[in-house]
Structures are given as structure tokens and as C-alpha cells.
Amino acid sequence: MVGLFAIYLICLFLIFWRKSNAAFCLVILNLILSFLMLLYHSKDALNIRL
Amino acid sequence: MVQLQKILNALFIFVLSFVLIAAYFYQYLKHEEPCPLCLLQRLGMIGIATAIFMNLRFGIKPQHYALAILSALVARLVSLRQIGLHVCPDFPTFGEPVFGYDLYVWALLVFSCSIFACAALLILYGFFKNLNYEPTWGLLEKSAFALLVLITSANIITTLLE
């Protein structure tokens, strides 16, 4: 979870340094990771076996 | 009109930051520690604010609004999951309600309003997209950046300490 926040912090600094493509990709990556985190925390309800 | 869009985008960031600061108020003054789903919702708000901040730094583009809408949609799923966990009658809720609603219900409202706000800002952008816009780095942009960095860093530290 700390890593997801850290990725957003890196994103903010990439935006500050005008690296728009890198920041965009990192935000998309974070969205995918957040969704996977949600699935992980819901694995019992959704009957997902890891 | 370009200045108006800039101000509205900055206001969007300040409102989301205020919501996140209010969450800290509940964490430390009411002693309500956030669960993993609460942290994912905070992450969603930071995601929306980051996408809107791209408008201030790189110029207003529909892709940035699309990113904000995607962040809001993913975070809405998290809120709905948390609401689903506590919606049954006689099942205890998580945390104290605020003005009658739990914080995860308020989060769902915030994300829904964010989607509407992005749609409204996109309509505004559509009317004036032919105007030349050179992004600046003034007080508004600097304060939005500083606030976002502060809130994200605070979230990193408090999550580590938890």
C-alpha cells in the first residue's frame, strides 16, 4: 500500500519535471495495481484462490 | 475562459485535498485508523488530484480528464465494496457516521461528484479548445503541487507507521 502512495509521489515529481508520458504511464500502472489490490482484499468474497 | 478553467482545475485539487485532510482529522482526533479499503479510497482521491494537476502543468487536455475519471471509477468500486461489506441490517458499520453517513458512503459521493465535475470541465474545454493556452507556474500551480506532495508524503509516513 505504501508503494502505491510512493508511486503517486514519484508521479507528482515527474509532472513537476515535465515528464508527461512517464507520469501518465505511472498513473495508469497505479490504477491497475489499485484494482488488483481491491481484488486481493475481496478474494474471499469473490472465491479467488491465489 | 482559459483562466477560468485553470482556476476550476485548481479548485478541484484544493477540494480533494480538503477531503483528505478531513480524513486525517478523523484518523487522529477521533482515533479511527483507516483499513486497507479506506487507504485505497484515499489513493483514488490522490489519483484524481494528480490527473487534474497534469492539466495545470501540461495544459488542459481531455486525456488528463479521462485519467481522473478512470481513477474515480476504480475508487468507486472500492467504496462500493466497503459499503457492500456493511450494508446488511444488524451488521456493525466501520467507524462513526458523519452527518448520518459513513465515511465510505461520503467517499462514493466524492468520487461520483468528481466524475460529474470532469464531465462539466470537458464540456467547458470543448467550447474553448481553439484558444491558445500556455501553462504557467504561478502561485496557484505551486500551492496545488505543494499541497499534493504534502498529503501524499503524509499518507506514506502514516501508512508506514500503522
* Per-residue pLDDT at B32 exceeds 80: no
Which of the residues B152, B157, B162 would you substitute to probe the A interface, choosing the one with the greatest number of A C-beta atoms within 10 Å? B152
Would you say B41 and B75 are in contact if contact means Cβ atoms under 8 Å apart?
Answer: yes
Q: Average pLDDT, stretch B120-148? A: 84
Which among B50, B156, B159 has the least Cβ separation from residue A27? B50
A chain contacts of residue B13, beta-carbon cutoff 8 Å:
none
The pLDDT value recorded for residue A50 is 59
- List, for residues A1-50, the tens digit of each pLDDT value: 889 999 999 999 999 999 999 999 999 999 999 999 998 888 777 666 65
C-alpha span between B160 and A3 (Å, rounded): 10
pLDDT value at residue A2? 87
Q: Does A42 touch chain B (CB under 8 A)?
A: yes
CB of B149 within 8 Å of a chain A CB? The answer is: yes
Chain B residues with CB inside 8 Å of A29's CB? Answer: none
**pLDDT over threshold 70, residue B57:** yes
The stretch B123-140 carries a mean pLDDT of 79
CB contact under 8 A, A34 and B39: no
Q: Which pLDDT score, from 0 to 100, does residue A48 have?
A: 64
pLDDT digits (tens, 9 = 90+) for B70-122: 999 999 999 998 888 877 776 666 667 777 788 888 999 999 999 999 999 99
In this prediction, residues B123-152 reach a mean pLDDT of 84
Pick from B61-75, B100-114, B135-149 the range whose average pLDDT is largest: B61-75
Decide if A21 contacts A43 (C-beta within 8 A).
no
Q: Which of A1, A6, A27 sits opposite B51 (nearest CB)?
A: A27
State the ipTM, two decimals: 0.87
Percent of chain B with pLDDT over 90: 49
Nearest chain B Cα distance for residue A14, angstroms: 10
Task: Show residues of chain B in contact with A24, CB under 8 Å.
Answer: 54, 63, 67
Report whether pLDDT(B145) > 70: yes
Nearest CB to B46: which of A8, A13, A38? A8
What cell does B6 get? 485553470
Q: How confident is the model at residue B152 (pLDDT cuts 50, 70, 90)?
A: very high
